[in-house]
Amino acid sequence: MKKTNPLPKTLNVMGITYKMVYHDNIAEMGVDEPFGWMSTKKGEMHIWTGNGANFAWTTILHETLHAIGDLGRLAILEYDEGRNRNHADIDALATMLADFLLRNDLLKQ
């Protein structure tokens, strides 16, 4: 049986350490961002874990792409205070990246 990868307690994105906050209850996530959200100012990523580890990893990658966009000033990835610029593209990219990493056993702690 394959061991499930543990979710990280922190992530370092371009030199900024993000504290990872996990929520089992989707009601804690808020209406605007039910699966995950990040704040570069607070240095936090909030991730809903109620749909399993693979979904959580996809959400972590999605929020990490937002962090990269914010820190690198990449407009296509930036989170724009709830306006979700190119959000569908970020979802697709995060899903494909998570699939690649999981299928190739590259997602390890």
Contact of 85 with 78, CB cutoff 8 Å: yes
Residue 80 lies in a domain: yes
Residue 67 lies in a domain: yes
Place of tokens 């959000």: 87
Q: If you average pLDDT over residues 15-22, what whole number do you get?
A: 94
Token couple for 73: 């000033």
Contact of 36 with 22, CB cutoff 8 Å: no
Going by pLDDT thresholds of 50, 70 and 90, the confidence category of residue 108 is low
Task: Please provide the average confidence, as pLDDT, over all residues in the chain.
Answer: 81
Question: pLDDT by residue (tens digit) across 27-68?
Answer: 888 767 789 999 988 999 999 999 888 889 889 998 998 888
> Per the structure, how many domains does the chain have?
1
CATH of the domain at 56: 1.10.10
Residue 4 lies in a domain: no
Residue 1 lies in a domain: no
Residue 25 lies in a domain: yes
Token couple for 96: 């494909």
Residue 15 lies in a domain: yes
d(CA 57, CA 108): 11
Supply the DSSP string of 53-66, one letter for each residue.
Answer: HHHHHHHHHHHHHH
Residue 49 lies in a domain: yes
SS3 85: coil
Domain that holds residue 24: 10-103
